[in-house]
Structure 1
Amino acid sequence: MVLGKVRALAVCFDTLNENNLPVFSGGELVSGRIVVDVTGDVRVRSLDVTARGVAKVRWTESRNAGANTAYTQNYTEEVEYLHHRDCLIGEDRDEDGVDEGVTLLHAGLHEFAFSFHLPQMALATSFEGKHGSVRYWVKAELQRPWMLPVKVKKEFVVFEHIDINTPLLLAPQAGSKEKTLCCWFCASGPISLSAKIARKGYTPGDSIQIFAEVENCSSRVVVPKAALYQTQTFFAKGKGKEIQQLVSNLRGEPLAQGKSQSWEGKLLKIPPVSPSILDCPIIRVEYALVVYVDIPGGLNLSLSLPLVIGTIPLHATASRTSSISSHGSASSWGGVAERPEAPPSYSDLAFSEAHRRHCLRGADERHEHEAAPLLAYISEFRYLPPPLYAEVDPYPDPAEACSVLEARTLDTCPSR
């Protein structure tokens, strides 16, 4: 009998996203097929499928002593998130098996289904960095008697979802700094910087609205700028390695001495980047918006605002809440908060006893005829007129009060 050959061995996933990529999240079902293409009869001992997910960190440090290398230290750490193994061929033999423990595959295509659930625990998002990575894959291995095994491995993507619609990530981020330039015995005026953004959480494709105020009282020409940075931190054997990359930036207009500049919602677009990784013990991916003043011949004045890049975009209600909070704080940008309006008196909100009895009597009569819930009668109070507010300002401005009093005095005085 002439035995055939294995023409191809492939892993195919059942679920693909719009970009034809297998993308999953924690707790979801991963399913697919192992496709074996053989040219003739092939004896197979086993077909194993192994799914793994590993976060791995590795880098090397060397110390030189003259022309020789004193020592080389390897830093390696690994965290396993997924390990699933299934035997598709090997335990149950086909009737065509010619030897003990061997299955015979005839010429043609053969498909073997596999499936497993990702753990419900917080998984690290798939990531590729300079000194480490987070990878998930499915590996198929075809064992044949007296021959080398045929192997194939195909990766899939895992996203640990980060919802930016949480109160912590919807909170505005703001800060201010000031710096005075001095050269020997000559000191110039200060350079001040204030910056604010509407929230902390964003998703790729969003635009960050930057509100900033820069005042240059120094003798140099400075330039306000903003940049989005990604910081990758790797941990192994109690030591850390940090890599910082520029993601996006923008530039303002140069400022001469005594000039100031305001950014009223200047937009910085976030390109497609990896989400933040905050829960992995050996790899962290963090983002920060740095608003700074470029000072020629001196250290820059910078202000860092931390960001979180998530996967679940901003909802409409959260967007309105964020815009309201940003506009409310922008009104007091100069440090002068608006004087709050006096609340209405409780006596203005109280209803008359006759009106209350009328509403209750009408509700009881309707309740006897109709089996309607009690919440339906809240509409009785929907169209009540609002309480009357006093036209007198409860917090008068002393200067305006004096001017009004003088005007009234002049009107009442007889003309000379």
Structure 2
Amino acid sequence: MPSVQCLLLTYDALNESGTFSEGDTVNGKLTLVLLKDISAQSLYVKLKGDAEVRWSKKTGDKTRTYSSSKRYFKLKQFLIAAQDSKETDVPKGTHVYKFSFKIPEQSMPSSFRGSHGKIIYKLEAALSRSWRMDSTTKKEINFVSKAFPNIHSLMAPQVGSVHKEMGLFSSGQVHMDVGVDKTAYAPGETAMIVAQINNSSSSDMNPKFSFIQNVVYRASGSTKLENLVIHKVVGKCVKAQTRQEVQCAIKIPPGQMQTIQNCEIITVEYFFKVYLDISFAFDPEVLIPVTILPLDFTPGLQPGVTASPYLAGATGGPSNSDFPPPAASFGPYPASPNSGGYGYPEAEGYSVPKPAYSDNPPMYAFPSNAYPAQPPHLSGGYNNPVPQPQAPYGSPFSSSSSTPVLHPPPSAPTFHPPPSAPAINPSPSSSFNMSPSAPTHNSLSSAPMMNVDFLSQSDEPPPAYSLLFPSSAPGNSDAK
């Protein structure tokens, strides 16, 4: 009849998922049920974390085995300790022993089990008696690492692009830009992938989206790779000589294993793979790395709020301009703050400059309708310039005095008013065309008022310099 009826390990959970991380304390109990009195040499509990890999490779008639292991920590606590090599008498009945371990605060990988390796954190208990086999028990704990450096940078969007010149069976080229709203996701989240495809070739192609897991095992200078396609989506066909934007939503499975990058012998990585399936040609593809974080470990986002993808210009993405965004769009792609003529990111394109607030502001303010829209050959096809607000100070022209003058606008809190200077009497026959880019003359506070409607003058040459600014010497007034 056996003496030990039961040896049971239990521990207290810290959260609903029953996970532990770096620096957490594992509190538990060891229950020993004896059917009769015994003499024990020792009774102890251990908590340890280990990683190990093992696989075999056959070459011809020879088979080579690769293996490696890594220990992260080992903690041991004696509940019954031998004193001076003497055994301890333990009466029959139920005995409950409490224990406590603090997990080291160091970077360690999360728990993992694969076909060629594993990372395990477990509690072990053993009762040792002389002339008998040890009574043992063990229980695994779910360890979830939170050692993710630069966690906030993982909330930034990602972009990738690929360009391919077509080969023997088709002509032209194809360009694809791919963007995702961020880099890190928790299980259960949905990732939005946006692909902008410019098919300037003679072939039709199908965009395809995949969520891929790569597991790499390392031992004795060799590696073993496992590749698993977790989810795959096929988009609509992109016809030849067309441009198209394709969006795809991929949900991360709720129980998906998180990324492991801090283990020397096992690595778990994830990718979004976007590629174009082209017949009789190599498929151009974009791989975007993805980090899977533990649940409730995605800082930087409010609950229920999803970050927008990088092509968010169509819905009002961020802008550094103080003016409203232009209403015009370029082709079928939405315009973004960093997009060019086709909406591709990082390309040079039209941008609205910020207003210049300097210590010497422009002297004159013109109404918003003073100048007509530029023709296409001058504005590069952008016929609607950025709309300007109406002049807040009314018309800058005044005829209340006998000598018409052009007044500067009233001073604003953030502007310094220009200095004043005596008005210059113009010549009766002088006329000129004002230009939106007319230079600012800080030495003058007023300019002569013309008796000709200068807004209707568009083809006349500029006035002579001497007519606008007559010399103080009457004998030197000839125009050069």
* Interval containing the TM-score (normalised by the shorter chain): 0.7 to 0.9
Aligned residues: 353
Alignment of 1:133-282 (within 5 A): 133-162=118-147, 166-183=151-168, 186-264=169-247, 266-271=248-253, 272-282=255-265
1:284 pairs with one of 244, 264, 267: 267
Counterpart amino acid of residue 250 in structure 2: L
Give the equivalent residue in structure 2 for 1:378: none
Q: Which residue of 1 aligns with 2:439?
A: none
Task: Select the structure that is richer in strand.
Answer: 1
Q: Relative to structure 1, is the Cα distance of residues 29 and 92 closer, same or farther in structure 2, using a 3 angstrom cutoff?
A: farther
Residue 31 (structure 2) aligns with: 35
Which residue in 2 is equivalent to 1:54? 50
The reply to whether residue 89 of structure 1 matches residue 80 of structure 2 is yes
What is the identity, as a one-letter code, of the residue corresponding to 1:48? Y
Question: Could you report, residue by residue, the CA deviation over 1:83-133 in whole angstroms, capped at 9, with x for unpaired residues?
Answer: 11121113469xxxxx941322322x2111111111111011111122211
Provide the TM-score with structure 1 as the length reference: 0.74
Task: Give 1:55 deviation, angstroms.
Answer: 1.1
Answer yes or no: is 1:342 the counterpart of 2:338: no
* Aligned residue among 90, 100, 104 for 1:115: 100
Change (3 A) 1:149 1:322: same
Find the counterpart in structure 1 of residue 9 from structure 2: 11
Ranges in structure 1 where 5+ consecutive residues have no aligned partner: 94-98, 350-388
CA distance in 2, matches of 1:7, 1:181: 74
Code of the aligned partner of 1:233: V
Shift of 1:319: 9.7
* 1:375 aligned partner: none
Ranges in structure 2 where 5+ consecutive residues have no aligned partner: 319-334, 385-432, 434-452, 459-480
1:303 maps to: 286
Whose helix proportion is higher, 1 or 2? 1
Residue identity matched to 2:25: L
Letter matched to residue 267 of structure 1:
A
Partner of 1:72: 63
Provide the secondary structure at the position in 2 that maps to 1:169. helix
Q: Which amino acid aligns with 2:54?
A: R
Offset from partner CA, 1:172-216 (integer Å, 9 cap, x none): 211221223333xx5422232111112222221121111211233
1:125 alignment partner, SS class: coil
Identity of aligned residues (%): 27
Q: Write the distance in 1 (CA, Å) between the matches of 2:232 and 2:287.
A: 14
Q: Matched residue of 1:316: which SS?
A: coil
RMSD: 3.5
For 1:339 and 1:317, locate their aligned partners in 2 and report how far apart those are by CA, in whole Å: 31
Displacement, 1:290? 0.8
Which protein has the larger Cα radius of gyration, Structure 1 or Structure 2? 2
After superposition, give the CA deviation of every residue in 1:45-71 in whole Å (9 maximum; x if it has no partner): 32121221111111111211xxxx1x2
- Matched to 2:63, the amino acid is T
Residue-by-residue CA offset, 1:251-308 (whole Å, 9 max, x unaligned): 21123333332125x3111113111111211111111111111123432211111121
Deviation at 1:151, TM superposition (A): 0.9
SS of the residue 1:274 aligns to = coil
